[in-house]
Structure 1
């Protein structure tokens, strides 16, 4: 795991949490972050340049640095 410096983190008035990190100039995405929501969904923007989103209802999307995303699951929140 690369070294990082915390930039900011917190929870907003709706109870949604976020955290931003700085991985430095050697990372593909130096300003990485993640957030998680009260509804169970969450999103990661990774230092490698990939992203991951989970809707909290059984469906997720992973996008590698190449940009060709893949989905899994088909759940919908009820």
Structure 2
């Protein structure tokens, strides 16, 4: 374990040219994120929540309970809308 409370499992650039980073917080608690070439990014947090930003002003946060909160997608945006899982 590092001073930061986690250790890096892996990080680098995947085959699509997107940056990724995976961390291990111990006790089966992991997180990872992708920063994609198109400006979008995706976080999977150690508490079970996720966050996706499409790089164009739209974003979706999914709480550990599974409730989704979206904003910036235009008139069809509301809580409970589906999100993209991000590029991997």
Q: TM-score range by the shorter chain?
A: 0.7 to 0.9
SS at 1:8 equivalent: strand
Give the TM-score normalised by the residue count of structure 2: 0.74
Q: C-alpha separation between the residues in 2 aligned to 1:6 and 1:56?
A: 25
Task: Say whether 1:9 aligns with 2:8.
Answer: no
Select the residue among 17, 20, 30 that pairs with 1:18.
20
Runs of 4+ in 1 over 6 A off after TM superposition: none
Give the TM-score normalised by the residue count of structure 1: 0.83
Is there any run of 5+ residues in structure 2 with no aligned partner, and where?
75-88
The alignment of Structure 1 onto Structure 2 pairs a total of residues equal to 71
Is there any run of 5+ residues in structure 1 with no aligned partner, and where?
none
